[in-house]
């Protein structure tokens, strides 16, 4: 399995996040990718830098004004006399207007974001663009005949919507990979999100589409981030009705309950008869993760990979969360090696 990875991910560093009422260093940090890179290299995977892609590739899933905001945000921040990282201080919540985009940088930051846990720093755009390139490169390899590929993306992407960033995510890498596969010969693509947190951005992007199925297993939004999406009754809208399926699980879920839910999710995937699969691979389901509450152990990740291989589909793995940094590489490599052991 080939791995797409860019050292430019390290340019997204130095910000802080508002976590449960406290301003703290970000849990999403560059060392996450470093540990994963070492683990996949030890496992013998071939690592390559991503191919170049035009900015127009991003517009297949993202709004053009949103992309331009991300590209220029920190430069505008500096031009306004500010230094350091950017966090929003106001959002278009209930009773406030959402039909007008403010001209000032502070207003636009709040308009395009949905939390204060996702700082923009000077190198954020470079890192986010490189992560998108990794996802597009892995999808291209599969479109060109590889049976599977892995995009070692950082920052992650599944919380980023059509015109929205948050949850450490700026561009939706998994959605970009799925759209690339659609554009290059795969009529039906499924996205399976196994991150602890619901992939609200991916759901948003494909909500009204029947050619891309979105299935997510995640912590119950009654108590878990992002709180306001990810309920079981969300099933898509318009032409996409029935093509979104959510499997929320309670805090403390272990492998027995998780594996049964994974089997149910795979039944949904099989019923869709996809031509290719994109896996939003978050390993923050790990029992030692500092911001999550499932109880999967390191030995369960190869089992997950083996299960996914049973679908016998061309598969693109796209890295999402996982914040127990010393274990993240072992857990990611476990999924990939388990997958390959059954192919």
Would you kindly state where each structural domain of the chain is located, as residue ranges? 2-52+127-341
Residue pLDDT, tens place only, 272-326: 999 999 999 999 999 999 999 999 999 999 999 999 999 999 999 999 999 999 9
Residue pLDDT, tens place only, 116-130: 999 999 999 999 999
pLDDT, residue 176, reads 99
| pLDDT over threshold 90, residue 73 | yes
| pLDDT over threshold 80, residue 7 | yes
Q: Give the whole-angstrom CA distance, residue 215 versus residue 268.
A: 8
pLDDT, residue 322, reads 98
Written as six digits, the tokens of 301 are 């990740």
Question: If you average pLDDT over residues 2-27, what whole number do you get?
Answer: 96
Work out the burial of residue 111: count CB atoms within 10 Å of its CB; fewer than 13 is exposed, 13-18 middle, 19 or more buried.
buried
Contacts of 321 (CB under 8 A, 6+ apart): 28, 156, 168, 195, 196, 197, 282, 283, 284, 292
Average pLDDT over the chain reads 97
pLDDT, residue 20, reads 87
Question: If you average pLDDT over residues 234-252, what whole number do you get?
Answer: 98
Question: If you average pLDDT over residues 67-75, what whole number do you get?
Answer: 98
Residue pLDDT, tens place only, 185-205: 999 999 999 999 999 999 999
pLDDT category at 343 given cuts 50, 70, 90 is: confident
CB 149 within 8 A of CB 138: yes
pLDDT > 90 fraction of the chain, expressed in percent and rounded: 99
| Highest CATH level, class, for 2-52+127-341 | alpha beta
Q: Give the whole-angstrom CA distance, residue 95 versus residue 202.
A: 26
Question: If you average pLDDT over residues 172-183, what whole number do you get?
Answer: 98
pLDDT category at 49 given cuts 50, 70, 90 is: very high
Residue pLDDT, tens place only, 157-174: 999 999 999 999 999 999
pLDDT category at 76 given cuts 50, 70, 90 is: very high
Catalytic residues: 159
């Amino acid at each position: 399995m080939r791995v797409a990875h860019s050292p430019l991910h390290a340019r997204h560093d130095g910000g802080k996040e508002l976590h449960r009422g406290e301003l703290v260093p970000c849990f999403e940090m560059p060392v996450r990718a470093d540990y994963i890179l070492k683990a996949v290299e030890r496992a013998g995977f071939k690592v390559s830098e991503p191919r170049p892609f035009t900015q127009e590739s991003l517009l297949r899933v993202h709004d053009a004004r949103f992309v331009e905001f991300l590209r220029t945000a920190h430069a505008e921040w500096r031009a306004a006399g500010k230094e350091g990282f950017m966090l929003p201080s106001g959002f278009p919540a209930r009773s406030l207007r959402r039909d007008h985009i403010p001209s000032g940088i502070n207003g636009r930051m709040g308009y395009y974001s949905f939390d204060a846990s996702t700082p923009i720093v000077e190198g954020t755009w470079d890192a986010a663009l490189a992560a998108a390139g990794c996802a597009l490169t892995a999808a291209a390899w599969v479109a060109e005949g590889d049976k599977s590929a892995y995009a070692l993306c950082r920052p992650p992407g599944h919380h980023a919507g059509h015109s929205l960033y948050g949850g450490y995510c700026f561009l939706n890498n998994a959605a970009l990979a799925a759209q690339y596969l659609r554009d290059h010969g795969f009529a039906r693509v499924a996205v399976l999100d196994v991150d602890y947190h619901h992939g609200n951005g991916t759901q948003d992007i494909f909500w009204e589409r029947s050619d891309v199925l979105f299935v997510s297993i995640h912590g119950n939004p009654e108590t878990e981030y992002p709180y306001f999406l990810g309920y079981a009754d969300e099933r898509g809208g318009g032409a996409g009705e029935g093509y979104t399926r959510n499997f929320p699980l309670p805090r403390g879920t272990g492998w027995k309950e998780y594996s049964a839910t994974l089997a149910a999710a795979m039944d949904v995937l099989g019923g869709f008869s996809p031509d290719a699969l994109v896996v939003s691979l978050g390993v923050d389901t790990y029992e030692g993760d500092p911001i999550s509450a499932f109880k999967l152990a390191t030995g369960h990740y190869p089992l997950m990979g083996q299960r996914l291989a049973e679908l016998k589909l061309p598969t693109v793995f796209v890295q999402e969360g996982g914040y127990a940094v010393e274990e993240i590489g072992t857990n990611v490599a476990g999924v990939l090696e388990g997958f390959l052991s059954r192919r």
